[in-house]
Structures are given as C-alpha cells and as structure tokens.
Amino acid sequence: MNNLDALRNDCIIKQKRGLHFIFTSVIIWIGILLVNLSSMPLLTKNLFTFMCTALLLPIAFLMSKLLKIDFQNKDNPLTVLGVLLSSNQILYLLIAMWIYSAIPNKMVMVIAIIFGAHLLPYSWLYKSKSYLIFSIVISFLALFIGLTSSLVVLASLMIIIELVFGFTLVLENKREIEDSLND
C-alpha cells in the first residue's frame, strides 16, 4: 500500500492535481460563453461548443508548460489510470451528441454535467476533497441551472465554479508542499 500511496503522491506533486486541466477548462467555458452570446442559430452554437471542447488537450499542454507541470509523468504507472479516467468522458460525449439534435437547448447542460461527473475518480487519485466536492456540486448545479436558466447563465456559472475549483486546488497543492517540508 505504501508504494501505491507513493505513486499517488508523485502524481499530486508532479501534476499539481491536474491544475493545468482545470484552468484550461476555464478557457474552454469562456469560449462556450462567447459562442452562446452570439446570434448564431442554436445548432451552430452547439457545433462551435463541441469545437471549444476539442481544444482541451492542446491548451492544457500549453498551460502545463506555463505552470511548470509534468504533462505526461511517464515514469508513473498511475498516469495511465489518469488518462483512462478522462477517456470515459469521451464516451459520455456520445450522449451530448445525441442531445445535439434531440434536445439542442440542453446540450451545454449535458456537457457541464458530464464534465462535473468525470471529476469524481480524481478525488481518489489526487487525494483531493476539492475534486470530490466539485464533481458533485458541478453536476447538480449544472442540472438545476440548465433546467431553469439560459445557456449564458450556465456557461458563466461554469467559469466561476472552475475558477473557484482551481484556486482550491492551488491551496491543496500549497498545503501538500508545506506538509512535505514538515515531514
């Protein structure tokens, strides 16, 4: 078990709890907000929303360079688990693709719910209460706001939530560094 904890701690330190992906999601949600502020037809907005999500990996790679994060952490076998945990989100996007034509005004809500739900396993990998709490909060808030408000309100809320989430991860990472210095 100590070896597993050591591998998890290595992911936490070298990948800073996936901070580069969370801050990248802020940029993506800003793009989604801008798309939904436009006067394009809804199906066109949805298409551009999908295009925004496709920018995740290249922007996260650049963000990892800016934040000095090991993007791949090839020496750690748990990195493969992290990729697998993210890959399930791609399969869930099939639901969003169906919603695209069946209920187009709810596609952004479904993408937000999928995004929130996919964060849950990272609470274990990164030993993070923030991932646990925000995976639940994002999913339920996206459902509630998506059913009761506009797409602009939902996208704006996602930007705010992702910023708060990112800063809670910064605090968790700071505590991790302080704790390792005290050991």
Mean pLDDT of the chain: 94
Smallest CA-to-CA distance from 95 within 82, 106, 87 is with 106
**What pLDDT is stored for residue 183 in this prediction?**
65
Rounded to an integer, the average pLDDT of 56-68 is: 95
Sequence-separated (6 or more) residues with CB below 8 Å from residue 17: 122, 126, 128, 130, 131, 169, 172, 173
Alpha-carbon span 161 to 169, nearest angstrom: 12
**What pLDDT is stored for residue 93 in this prediction?**
86
**What pLDDT is stored for residue 155 in this prediction?**
98
Model pTM score: 0.93
Label residue 64 by pLDDT band (50, 70, 90).
Answer: very high
Region of poorest pLDDT, from 34-38, 72-76, 156-160 = 72-76
**What pLDDT is stored for residue 1 in this prediction?**
63
Region of poorest pLDDT, from 13-17, 59-63, 84-88, 110-114 = 84-88
**What pLDDT is stored for residue 38 in this prediction?**
98
Alpha-carbon span 7 to 104, nearest angstrom: 42
List Cα–Cα distances, 126 to 72, 149, 157, in angstroms: 15, 33, 25
Alpha-carbon span 129 to 31, nearest angstrom: 28
Rounded to an integer, the average pLDDT of 110-128 is: 96
**Rg value, the chain, Cα:** 17
List Cα–Cα distances, 176 to 88, 162, 168, 183, in angstroms: 28, 21, 12, 11
Alpha-carbon span 33 to 25, nearest angstrom: 12
Of 86 and 133, the structure prediction assigns the larger pLDDT to: 133
pLDDT in tens, 15-26: 999 999 999 999
Could you give the angle at which helices 151-182 and 19-37 cross, rounded to 10 degrees?
Answer: 170
Q: How far apart are the first and last CA of the chain?
A: 19
Rounded to an integer, the average pLDDT of 112-140 is: 96
Residue 14 contacts residue 70 (beta carbons within 8 Å): yes
Of all residues in the chain, the percent with pLDDT exceeding 70 is: 99
Domain ranges of the chain: 2-182
**What pLDDT is stored for residue 2 in this prediction?**
81
